[in-house]
Structure 1
Amino acid sequence: MTIRRAGRDDVAAVLGLLDGATEWLVARGRTDQWGTEPHSTSPRRVAQITGFADEEDGLWVAEADGRVVGALAVGAAMPYVPAPEEPELYVRLLVTDRASAGQNLGGLLLDHARKLARAAGVGMLRVDCFAGGDGALVRYYEKQGFTRDVEFGVPRANDSDWPGQVLVQRL
């Protein structure tokens, strides 16, 4: 597997990874994280991923056998989380191909984020994730060396707030 800087030509593949992850969640009755609709049909999500691709060092993809199997976006903290108290690199997106589960793709992409942070002279890596359901995603990041920081909620129209957890890792 190789990790490379992604560009606009990779946006469709990244959206495909997100669509596949959503299908996987829906098949397991876990619609509270990302809903049921494909990300590739959401103008907001398409614009977000395109924006990540347009940022210098903002979007990275993992490839295996010429196929995109994972994506990582890094940069400034998302606007819905508390601002950092020190310089950081923020993991804005981490998604992997469900067909490649068990190959530690997420861990390898997080290792890449750590390398980027160190190269930038930053001593803190943060990420946020869905904190609802059975808490499996929070536990995943804890297994990757992150510790829980603050909980937050993102308001949703006609629904309860989306429950989130910020996690931090000192480098």
Structure 2
Amino acid sequence: MAARGIVQWPPGSLPRERIAAQVDAGQWHVLVDDLRVVGTVRLLWADPDFWGDDDTPAVYVHGLMVDRAATGRGIGTALLDWAAAQGRAAGVGLFRLDCRTTNPALRAYYEGYGFQAVGQRDFADFSCTLLELRVGAAS
């Protein structure tokens, strides 16, 4: 991504220990095809780091990634569909995520899926656009 001028996860911003703890907590989910990982997504039920103290029931996605060799096959959409279904099954009506303001292509991808920008979160060294989509709760 960096070689293409996209700033999303700068080198060193995702320490191995943090990812290992998230995997151990069951937050990461992978899609395997032909015995290799082709996509991954991190699913959360609260996201105070980015969304603050908002206690609105929602499902949150981080770390949506698709293997470059598998692009164009709808894997990102399938992972978003799966995450939205997890939210509906849990009875929540909002699907939320964020992306760096320096990544307009990713924001356009999420908006093409149906997300709408609802805010921005500024940190010391980067800013994120907050996006959400009403998915409806399971009946």
Does TM, normalized by the shorter one, top 0.5? yes
* Alpha-carbon distance in structure 1 between the residues aligned to 2:115 and 2:101: 14
| Alignment-derived partner of residue 90 in structure 1 | 60
Name stretches of at least 5 consecutive residues in structure 1 with no aligned partner: 1-24, 157-161
Q: Does 1:142 align with 2:117?
A: no
Residues 128 and 165 of structure 1 are in contact (CA less than 8 Å); yes or no, is this contact kept in structure 2? Answer: yes
* Alpha-carbon distance in structure 2 between the residues aligned to 1:93 and 1:33: 10
| Alignment-derived partner of residue 163 in structure 1 | 127
TM-score (norm 1): 0.71
**Which residue identity is paired with 1:139?**
A
* Alpha-carbon distance in structure 2 between the residues aligned to 1:33 and 1:27: 12
- Give the SS at the match of 1:74: strand
- What whole-Å deviation, never above 9, does each CA across 1:103-144 have from its counterpart, x for those lacking one? 1111100011011101111111100111115x1111110111
Residues 8 and 99 of structure 2 are in contact (CA less than 8 Å); yes or no, is this contact kept in structure 1? Answer: no
* Alpha-carbon distance in structure 1 between the residues aligned to 2:48 and 2:78: 22
TM-score (norm 2): 0.86
- Of all paired residues, the percent bearing the same amino acid is 34
- Pairwise mapping of residues 10-25 of structure 1 onto structure 2 (< 5 A)? 25=1
- Give the SS at the match of 1:61: strand
- What whole-Å deviation, never above 9, does each CA across 1:69-122 have from its counterpart, x for those lacking one? 111111121513333351011112211101111111111000110111011111
* Alpha-carbon distance in structure 2 between the residues aligned to 1:34 and 1:53: 18
Name stretches of at least 5 consecutive residues in structure 2 with no aligned partner: none
Structure that is richer in helix per residue: 1
- What whole-Å deviation, never above 9, does each CA across 1:41-62 have from its counterpart, x for those lacking one? x6x5212222221224x21101
Q: Does 1:67 align with 2:31?
A: no
RMSD: 1.8
- Give the SS at the match of 2:99: strand
* Alpha-carbon spacing, 1:92–1:165, altered in 2? closer, same or farther (3 Å): same
Q: Does 1:33 align with 2:2?
A: no
| Alignment-derived partner of residue 159 in structure 1 | none
